[in-house]
Structure 1
Amino acid sequence: ALRKLDPADPALDGIDFATWLGRHGQSPRTVDALWDLVGIPTLNAPAPQASMGLAAMVFKTGLLSEPGAADIGWAHVPLGELHDTRAAKELDALGVRTALRTKAERISRTDEGRWAVDVPGETLVADAVVLAVPQEETHGLLPEGALDDPDRLLDIATAPILNLHVVYDRKVLKRPFFTALGSPVQWVFDRTDSSGLTGAGQYLAVSQSAAQDEIDEPVAALRAKYLPELERLLPAARGAGIRDFFVTRERTATFAPTPGVGRLRPGARTQAPGLFLAGAWTATGWPATMEGAVRSGFNAAGAALSALGRRHDHPLQEAA
């Protein structure tokens, strides 16, 4: 039944994943053991709160598209090394100016029809602007007339992710990661090597998606809940010393994939010539994954280069 669906069908966006699963005989235990096991970390929502359209996209791509579609890979280095350090090195080599910790305060058109971006102490002028900030910030920066109904951006809700970081004084997990059933623990990753931790200890990261009920819990409460559960799941952790325990909270980690969100997500092009949108929350067809964010960047960059090529009548490579 899933194979027959078109994830882009607007009708699927209007129903929730749990309702569809129930219609197809999936028991609550099956939902917990398979559909939410994959769906919660990829969609950042349990089945009752997830758009069927986005769920269909995830499971058709991740299970049915090809024999190796469900293979799991993970980064051996911190994601900042991939998304920031190496990207910055390439941009620097190309002579691109990158301004960090620089807030865009206002975007407006110049008298010459170009774009002016006001940042502290400076105004940047450009032929094209890709606005790649969260939906609420986008709403605040968009010039009038850029979207038909910009207030719809404020209807795109957000969902949190909570990460618990535990440093043991010994090795307690032999595998690179695991997930748990019948437990509050979702996914656990060994971050010892990627964090640079040396010595006999081990650093585990517990990743908790759709963490609305726990995102504001005190560290002491989370420690009291999860350390005993890790000991239950990992016998080697029983009696191990805790060298460190800390929590990182991303209250607006992703957009919420609720039913109906598809009609709220704008495309890369706006009605303002030369102004484009990017971000995992835009209309990529994907949930708020890194893959979706990258696709949004390609969409926006392609639209911008196309517009610049027509405006200035030079090759897109030169425009880039």
Structure 2
Amino acid sequence: MPATRPATTIAPVAVVGGGLAGITAALALAEAGCPVTLYEARPRLGGAAHSFQRGGLTVDNGQHVFLRCCTAYRGLLDRLGGTALVSLQNRFDVRVLGGAGRSGRLRRASLPGPLHFVPALAGYRLLGPGDRIQALRGSLALSRLDPADPVLDTMTFGSWLAAHGQGAPVRQALWDLLAVAALNTGVEEVALGPAVKVFKTALLGRPDAADLGIPLVPLGRLHDTAAQEAIARRGGVVRLSAKVTAIEPDAVIVDGVRTKASAVVVATRHEQAATLVPAGAAPGRDAWSALDASPIINVHALYDRPVMRMPFVAVTGSPVQWVFDKTRVAGLGKGQYLAVSVSVADTWIDRPTADIRAAFVPELRSVFPAAREARLTDFFVTRERRATFRQAPGSGALRPHGATRWPGLYLAGAWTDTGWPDTMEGAVRSGLHAARLVRHHVRHQESAS
């Protein structure tokens, strides 16, 4: 009788970091039948998209939105059971408030792309007739560029806009309004490549690509509890408050304990990944720190009565950028809860809350006249000092691929080379890519054993 080959037990895959990239990688591996353990140093999952409790309310640390073209993120929501917990516009539609009571509206038409956005620009009342023509010409020129062209990583979006006749009014009321929110970097600093990716994909591609999606429940329900439950249902393990301090070829060190791993996915922020990944595995890791970081703050203002009628608005010519009604999501029973999302928040990130309040409360009264008669019942600020990497010229060349020189060691995160800017969509795509690499590695291990 031929000898029976002894069964081998493959150690679990270790996923380090419980943000969207790590959640996605762990879930995809568990769905594929790979034993996997997700390690998160904090007592929750979700990374920069999380919630906390304050005075009986559930507060999101920041407002996160997605677009219909974010297919990977929407796929993750579906697998987490969260599709019914978000609202997705039937048609891109944004009300934009300017100074002196002026307002405009950007609403796509029922036309094939990119013609669907032409009526929105042609009727955008925050721009004069000449500026609207500038914007249309700029959009046409932008649509001819390839975001993957490495030359676009060497120049700023602002320099390109200037070279294509986009004056200050168009920049402020259109390009900066959208680029700052999407890229967390202003047009004068952001590289042309990621800007082209955003505008071509969202506004100049499929007509429905830019339709906005907004969570109807706290982020913690979407990205923490739902993620833990989904991973566990598929046989994966989630370990919270578990800090990985070192990585070895076949193990991770977790809270001082060596734990075997058949493969490792490092899904932390780029600064943390640079300290965890051994130099021999990724000789270019020191370059990751040169990606720098760009902050976001969220200003939370609670009033004793409604002051904003729309679910959200964009604002131009003011430190107030985008405002969202969080009343129902947070569980506020009376009055209205507004969250102001402020990207590229270098000016504000280190300012005391009192200074931010002194600046933003009058601005909110200017933007929303009803706030002048309302009583402010609470005011606080949440800060993400390193919300995204700073997507300046040269940053694209610094973004690493998912594989390292060590077989079985992989990278995930919106800062890796996903082909997308640093967004939730990029994070999810990186997690899916890392999971594919791990599955190939594990299959090779199993066939060799």
TM range (shorter): over 0.9
Residue 104 of structure 1 aligns with an amino acid whose one-letter code is V
In the alignment, the residues of structure 1 paired with residue 220 and residue 422 of structure 2 have an alpha-carbon distance, to the nearest angstrom, of 18
SS of the equivalent of 2:259 reads strand
Confirm or deny that 1:138 pairs with 2:273.
yes
The equivalent of 1:246 in structure 2 is: 380
Pairing partner for 2:293 from 158, 170, 173 = 158
The equivalent of 1:5 in structure 2 is: 145
SS of the equivalent of 2:356 reads helix
The equivalent of 2:20 in structure 1 is: none
In the alignment, the residues of structure 2 paired with residue 106 and residue 71 of structure 1 have an alpha-carbon distance, to the nearest angstrom, of 42
List per-residue Cα deviations over 1:74-129 (Å, max 9, x = no partner). 111122221111111111222321111211111112xxxxx211111522211110
The equivalent of 2:307 in structure 1 is: 172
In the alignment, the residues of structure 2 paired with residue 231 and residue 244 of structure 1 have an alpha-carbon distance, to the nearest angstrom, of 15
CA contact (8 A) 2:323 2:341 kept: yes
Shift of 1:163: 0.5
CA contact (8 A) 2:245 2:256 kept: no
Pairing partner for 2:399 from 265, 278, 291 = 265
In the alignment, the residues of structure 2 paired with residue 70 and residue 136 of structure 1 have an alpha-carbon distance, to the nearest angstrom, of 31
Shift of 1:70: 2.3
Pairing partner for 2:412 from 278, 283, 303 = 278
Shift of 1:2: 1.3
Residue 202 of structure 2 aligns with an amino acid whose one-letter code is G
TM-score (norm 1): 0.94
The equivalent of 1:112 in structure 2 is: none
Confirm or deny that 1:98 pairs with 2:226.
no
SS of the equivalent of 2:384 reads strand
How many corresponding residue pairs?
308
Determine which structure has greater relative contact order: mean sequence separation of CA pairs < 8 Å that are 6+ residues apart, divided by chain length: 2
The equivalent of 1:20 in structure 2 is: 160
Confirm or deny that 1:310 pairs with 2:444.
yes
Alignment of 1:1-320 (within 5 A): 1-109=141-249, 115-198=250-333, 200-313=334-447
In the alignment, the residues of structure 2 paired with residue 277 and residue 307 of structure 1 have an alpha-carbon distance, to the nearest angstrom, of 14
The equivalent of 2:60 in structure 1 is: none
In the alignment, the residues of structure 2 paired with residue 14 and residue 129 of structure 1 have an alpha-carbon distance, to the nearest angstrom, of 33
SS of the equivalent of 2:366 reads helix
Shift of 1:161: 0.2
Shift of 1:310: 2.3
SS of the equivalent of 1:99 reads strand
In the alignment, the residues of structure 2 paired with residue 168 and residue 212 of structure 1 have an alpha-carbon distance, to the nearest angstrom, of 27
The percent identity for this pair of structures is 49
Shift of 1:275: 0.2
In the alignment, the residues of structure 1 paired with residue 338 and residue 259 of structure 2 have an alpha-carbon distance, to the nearest angstrom, of 43
SS of the equivalent of 2:188 reads helix
In the alignment, the residues of structure 1 paired with residue 282 and residue 252 of structure 2 have an alpha-carbon distance, to the nearest angstrom, of 18
List per-residue Cα deviations over 1:136-171 (Å, max 9, x = no partner). 111111123111322111111100000110111111
The equivalent of 1:317 in structure 2 is: none
SS of the equivalent of 1:172 reads coil
Residue 304 of structure 1 aligns with an amino acid whose one-letter code is V
Residue 388 of structure 2 aligns with an amino acid whose one-letter code is T
Shift of 1:312: 1.5
The equivalent of 2:55 in structure 1 is: none
**Ranges in structure 2 where 5+ consecutive residues have no aligned partner:** 1-140
Residue 373 of structure 2 aligns with an amino acid whose one-letter code is G
**Ranges in structure 1 where 5+ consecutive residues have no aligned partner:** 110-114, 315-320
State the Cα RMSD in Å: 1.2
List per-residue Cα deviations over 1:223-257 (Å, max 9, x = no partner). 11111111111111112111110000110111110
The equivalent of 1:318 in structure 2 is: none
Residue 412 of structure 2 aligns with an amino acid whose one-letter code is A
List per-residue Cα deviations over 1:249-305 (Å, max 9, x = no partner). 110111110111011000110011000000110101111110111111111111111
Provide runs of 4+ in structure 1 moved above 2 Å: none
